Amino acid sequence: MKLRHSNVNSVQETLKECPSPLVLVPTMGALHGGHLALIRAAREMVGPQGTVAVSIFVNPTQFDRPEDLSSYPQPLEEDLALCEKEGVDIVFAPEIGTLYQPDHSVLVTESLLTKHLCGATRPGHFDGVLTIVLKLLNIFQPNFAIFGEKDFQQLALIRRMVRDLDAQTEIIGHPTVREADGLALSSRNRKLTPIHRADAPRIRRALLAAQSIHQTGEQKPQVYLDATRHHLSKDAPEDFRIDYLQLVDSESLQPLAKVTSRATLATACFFGPVRLIDNIQIRD
């Protein structure tokens, strides 16, 4: 069976020959250990007789900064080799023109869960995310699609889109995969300077410090936010800055007045031009 496909007709014809169940792992390439964990979880879900498909597509409509798109790593041949090594059955790696017509004019927009977190600081970003995910679900019609929980807001939005638009795919979240020092794996990590890479685990340490406050029974969100901000900022590099830091309800993603239900503390931080995100459950 041909591994790589670059057009919709080709991949759909191949899918007709593939056994169910089918699980899709959508990626933007530059595969790392986090992606490989998703692929391995996908294989475990469907077993040796099922089908694991991976999409590799750097989606232009979700980039709010042109320089971020132009500098995004695209080691396609390395990615294909990793997919083959992991036993992936199908890789869909299309060109931009395959998925977006020159005069495309329809995007998927969400109006509630995008009001905060990355949705507030990256206007239009999630329109692009939801649009490309829906296109991929339409193309593959998978039984399952699996996403990492590091992108906490993205996962919540995709689940809401599937619910509200009656898509017939079950969305699976996979726990964040981390380096030994706690830094969440990300394709952007390779863009960090050595100094920034050594310092970046401060994000995880700050979130863990805030999580420990819950053991005291504290219900005031500001206490968690102040503690996290302190740990994030203390002795940080000069070009470090916090993009956002919020404590929200884990399902609605709205800010909390009291920490009495499922709560997630989420942040995005810049090390120079490199933006990293992470989150932690405060109350499960």
Q: Which stretch of DSSP H or E encloses residue 44? A: helix 33-46
Does residue 155 sit in the same domain as residue 193? no
Does residue 47 sit in the same domain as residue 121? yes
Q: What token pair was written down for 208?
A: 């863990």
Q: What is the pLDDT of residues 43-56, one digit of tens each?
A: 999 999 999 999 99
Q: What is the largest CA-CA distance in the chain?
A: 57
Does residue 93 sit in the same domain as residue 133? yes
* Of 225, 214, 275, 218, the residue nearest 255 (C-alpha): 225
Does residue 47 sit in the same domain as residue 127? yes
Give yes or no for residue 1 having a pLDDT over 80.
no
Residue 261: the pLDDT is 85
What pLDDT band is residue 125 in, cutting at 50, 70 and 90? very high
Domain containing residue 93: CATH number:
3.40.50.620
Active site residues: 35
Q: What is the pLDDT of residues 36-93, one digit of tens each?
A: 999 999 999 999 999 999 999 999 999 988 888 998 889 999 999 999 999 999 999 9
Does residue 129 sit in the same domain as residue 196? no
Does residue 108 sit in the same domain as residue 168? yes
Give yes or no for residue 151 having a pLDDT over 90.
yes
In the numeric block, the tokens 């030994």 are attached to 180
Q: What's the mean per-residue pLDDT of the chain?
A: 96
The answer to whether position 100 is within a domain reads: yes
Give yes or no for residue 283 having a pLDDT over 90.
no
List, in sequence order, the alpha helices (H) in 141-274: 152-164, 194-199, 202-213, 221-233
Residue 175: the pLDDT is 98
Q: What token pair was written down for 87?
A: 């036993």
Residue 67: the pLDDT is 86
Domain region containing 23: 4-174
Single-letter code of the amino acid located at 92:
F
The answer to whether position 181 is within a domain reads: no
The answer to whether position 182 is within a domain reads: no
Does residue 109 sit in the same domain as residue 236? no
d(CA 76, CA 93): 9
